[in-house]
Amino acid sequence: MDIAGGLYGFFGTSDPTALALDLLVAVVLAVSIAYLALEIYRIYVEYTRKEAPVTAKPEPARPVPAKAPEPAIKPAARPVTGPGPMEAIKPTLAVKPEIPAIDVVKGTLPESMVSLTQKYRLGSLTLASHDGLVIASTSKTPDQDAAVYSGLFQELYKVKQEPYYYVESKGVGLYSVESGAQKVIGVAIRKDGLAPEEVKAIREDTKKVVDRFAAGR
């Protein structure tokens, strides 16, 4: 059996036009998978790469000026009546982010996703399954966000298990929640990332939404 005959048999067709279309679809699919794998690898390397510490060069020794001779009689020291300039400065306490008291569980899943996005000031939010499929999203590119960043989350989790990862170069925060036997990965687009209090809150709110609609109630 020649090559053409093998291709006709593999694709289950004897029509040359149908065979050409099948081959074209197979090539496009292969290129898309290769691009997706390269993108995941590039982001993973970018996130985990650590810059080598820069060692400061020692400054050349400077000559120590000779001390002037002290006077035989020193003036009496005046008592200090108040705190010095440095003692008066108190460290500024970090301001915790103010999270609006919004109930994110609405009548439908899309409405709940919009509430999550607004409550945490996100550009968009995508919930993806562990295998990279879109569960719900407010993004303009939900399939790409789910496929790329769910894979990236799993790679980062293998290196160091954290509840939240922030990819600064992409402005993307990644987190996960569990609902029963289902593990859901959140892809939160926000340039400044999420504070620890916000990470805890958004994971709790996301779990409420997933629990509500996963059960189909």
At 51, list the tokens: 């810059």
| Token pair for 5 | 């005959």
Task: Kindly state the tokens that stand for 20.
Answer: 């050409």
**What pLDDT, in 10s, does the model give residues 83-95?**
333 333 333 334 5
User: Which residue has tokens 């090559």?
Assistant: 3
Using one digit for the tens of pLDDT, what is the confidence trace for 126-158?
999 999 999 999 999 999 999 999 999 999 999
Residue 215 pLDDT > 70: no
Give the Cα separation of 90 and 74 in Å (integer): 34
16-48 helix and 142-159 helix, angle to the nearest 10 degrees: 50
- pLDDT at residue number 183: 92
Name the region of 87 (left: φ>0; alpha: ψ -120 to 50; beta: rest). alpha
Are 49 and 33 spatial neighbours (Cβ–Cβ below 8 Å)? no
The pTM score is 0.61
Say how many C-beta atoms besides its own lie within 10 A of residue 194's C-beta: 21
CA pair distance 10, 22, nearest whole angstrom: 10
pLDDT reported for residue 168: 92
**Residue 176 CA from chain centroid, whole number:** 11
pLDDT (tens digit per residue) in 37-50: 777 777 777 766 65
Please state, as a whole number, how many other Cβ atoms lie within 10 Å of the Cβ of residue 132.
Answer: 19
